[in-house]
Amino acid sequence: MKNKIISLSIIAIMVIGCGETELSTEQKIQSNIEAELLPRLNDPESYEFVSVSEIDTVTVKDNAIDILEWSNEQVAKLDSYDGYNKQIEDIENDISEYKNIDAYSNYVKDSQDLVVRIKSIRQDIMDKNKEYRNDVEKSNDTDIHSITLIYKLRAKNAMGAKTLNSYKYILNDTLGVKSYKLVE
């Protein structure tokens, strides 16, 4: 009899333990949004979940490709701008012409700083391009960058009337809230 009770207890513990599973993706999304949303509601007790619908999922690869294309366009614009190289050349000529004249020392220093900044910005863009190229090469098509969705709920407003509200949420790769806004 004692062995039966112990066996039944072990089985009951196993069944109960097996019933505790990890939250589904939908449950994680709802839980993360509610943790961010409920403190902002006028009456959190009146909150009712209505629906959630996915609008878009952006992969790491897609995001890196978009940024890479944009930054390549910026570098191409900078390089194709006729005045760009000419302006740098003119500034560098001015620096060498005026660097020994005390009255122009501030102008020379500002001009040198400007040339360094211009070249630095271009180099920063090129360095970021390398990073994005690496992201594109090493990421999978399934690596999520962000998820955009519409989250609908009912809750009481400041006047005590229950209203239907829609929020556009952007979630990060761990399903945490990145940003949100009320959708009219």
Q: Are 151 and 165 in contact, with CB atoms under 8 Å apart?
A: no
Tens of pLDDT, residue by residue over 105-157, are 777 777 778 778 877 887 888 888 888 888 788 888 788 889 999 999 999 99
Q: Say whether both 80 and 150 belong to one domain.
A: no
Higher-confidence position of 134 and 83? 134
Tens of pLDDT, residue by residue over 9-64, are 333 344 444 555 678 888 999 999 999 999 999 999 999 999 999 889 998 888 88
DSSP 41: S
Examine residue 13 and state whether it is found in any structural domain, yes or no. no
Q: With H, G, I as helix, E, B as strand and everything else as coil, classify residue 160.
A: coil
Range of the domain at 94: 60-138
Q: Say whether both 55 and 67 belong to one domain.
A: no
Range with the poorest average pLDDT among 15-24, 60-69, 173-182: 15-24
pTM of the model: 0.60
Q: Say whether both 120 and 97 belong to one domain.
A: yes
Q: Say whether both 128 and 103 belong to one domain.
A: yes
Examine residue 11 and state whether it is found in any structural domain, yes or no. no
Q: Say whether both 53 and 29 belong to one domain.
A: yes
Give CA–CA dist 9/3, Å, rounded: 10
Domain count, the chain: 2
Residue 131 φ/ψ, nearest 5 degrees: -60, -45
State residue 118's pLDDT score: 78
